[in-house]
Chains A and B, each alone.
Chain A
Amino acid sequence: MSLDAIALGGGFDLEFYRKFVRNSFDTPNAIQPLRRLTHAPLVYVRTVDDTGQPIDAVTLRTTIDAVWSIGSMWTGGAFGIADVPRGTEDHAGEAGWLTIRWTNLSADNHCGLADIGQDGGVIQLSRETIGCGCNGSKMRPRTVRHELGHAFGFWHTGDVNDLMVGASSQCDQFPSGRELYHAAIAYRRPAGNADPDIDPAGAVNLAPGRIVE
């Protein structure tokens, strides 16, 4: 049999891995098992918001481009984005899909909100929240990639150098080198892998998790 283990040193940082993969930054006393996607998702971008109002062309284009631009970064090359169809439908809860909705989250001052590593999950983006747009778009590419990071299974790191920092005013940003490095390790483990590196015995059913930026 072939087995693999995470070698210490050489770029691996267990403390960072626990923040990034197990949510020890936001909930240090309740670290999570690995949640991740298992196949390339179809990312459905709704062209209308939750009230039925159409999304302007620049914001829609910026969002779709940002989705494509992440490619297979969040999976260490395991798989990328299958396609980015758009329309007025909603594929929440459907296997193989991620759905981007446009929801007003300004009351909570959030730019985005996402299910964590959930097949059929939802990303909600808020055009109405002040500071969430840039360069003529009402949604920053950075926010789209950040929420995709959540959708692929990753949590906040608390470091401004990381895309998954949690709160940032940057317009455009990609995952940091260490995020890419540790994401690749996470995608070499089955969903449900627990701290420090314990694979589950069989199928794993985790309660859905949701996080805001």
Chain B
Amino acid sequence: MDTEMTGVAHVNVSRSTCTAGVSKRPDSMTAGRPRLPPPPETHDVDIRWRIRRECCVDPCSLGRAAAFTILSMRLWTLCAASAFSVACSGGSPTAPARVTPTSPAQSSTVTITGHLTATNGAQPLGGIIASLGPTTTSTTDDAGRFALTVTPFAAIRVTLQGTSIVPRSAPRCGRDLARCESRRHRARRRV
């Protein structure tokens, strides 16, 4: 299954670099920096560990931070005073200043493009209505392509209808439902 996610207009960061998850970064972003230790056991220390991670934030983290503005502002205040920021040498957190704080409501759409084929034959299915409800619909073209706008990381259920298929309904979410649900869970905890 391949997923193409584009957009998030308010953040000047390509989402395509943000797919490794909250706790992972591309190697190129961590090269030359001291590796962070594993999260400590106690709650207090764990908070500092997390703060330091945000100090060393990469553009992906910034995208997430913009989505949770209140938290990120608090974290930046703490980051400035944190002794752990020493570990961020070589990774100056300049990018956060360029992110315009926005409300969560402004940050919540991505366009998911999809491809519909036949279960029995694998041929592309055109003229099928893909929908996420009564207002979000897209009709597949001859190549079976469609595009739907959704809330980032939201679990969605795609409904497919057309005269040439058995009506279908399937849960989908970004790249992967399980990963999506995990991200949603983390997002709720952070907010």
Contacts and interface: CB of A to CB of B under 8 A. Distances in A.
B111 to A, nearest CB: 11
Contacts of A3: 114-117, 130, 158, 160, 168, 170, 172
Contacts of A185: 119-120
Given A1-B1, A2-B1, A197 B169 contact: yes
Contact of A7 (B3, B120, B155, B171): B120
Contact of A5 (B157, B166, B175): B166
Nearest to B118: A7
A198 interface: yes
Contacts of B120: 6-7, 10-12, 181, 184-185
B165 A6 contact: yes
B27 interface: no
Nearest to A193: B170
Given A2-B2, A3-B160, A188-B119, A199 B166 contact: no
B181 to A, nearest CB: 9
A49 to B, nearest CB: 42
A156 B100 CA distance: 63
B121 to A, nearest CB: 6
B39 interface: no
A18 B120 CA distance: 16
B167 interface: yes
Contact of A199 (B130, B164, B170): B170
B112 interface: yes
A12 B119 CA distance: 10
Contacts of B157: 201
A181 B119 CA distance: 11
Interface string A169-213: 000000000000100110011000000111111100000000000
Contacts of A8: 163-166
A7 to B, nearest CB: 4
A109 B166 CA distance: 39
A108 interface: no
A20 to B, nearest CB: 14
A200 B177 CA distance: 12
Contacts of B92: none
A1 B165 contact: no
A190 to B, nearest CB: 9
Given A196-B166, A198-B168, A2 B118 contact: no
B114 A2 contact: yes
A95 interface: no
Interface string A6-34: 11111110100000000000000000000
B30 interface: no
B123 interface: yes
A7 B172 contact: no
A198 B169 contact: yes
Nearest to A200: B171
- Which residue among A2, A4, A9 has the maximum number of chain B CB atoms within 10 Å of its CB? A4
A5 B169 contact: no
B128 interface: yes
B112 A1 contact: yes
B125 interface: yes
- A-B complex: 4 closest residue pairs judged by Cβ atoms: A7-B118, A5-B165, A6-B166, A197-B168
Given A3-B170, A5-B116, A7-B119, 5 more contacts: A1-B113, A3-B117, A9-B164, A189-B119, A198-B170
Interface of B: 1-3, 112-123, 125, 128, 130, 155, 157-158, 160, 162-172, 175
6 contacts: A2-B114, A3-B160, A7-B120, A198-B168, A199-B171, A201-B155
Interface of A: 1-12, 14, 181, 184-185, 188-189, 196-202
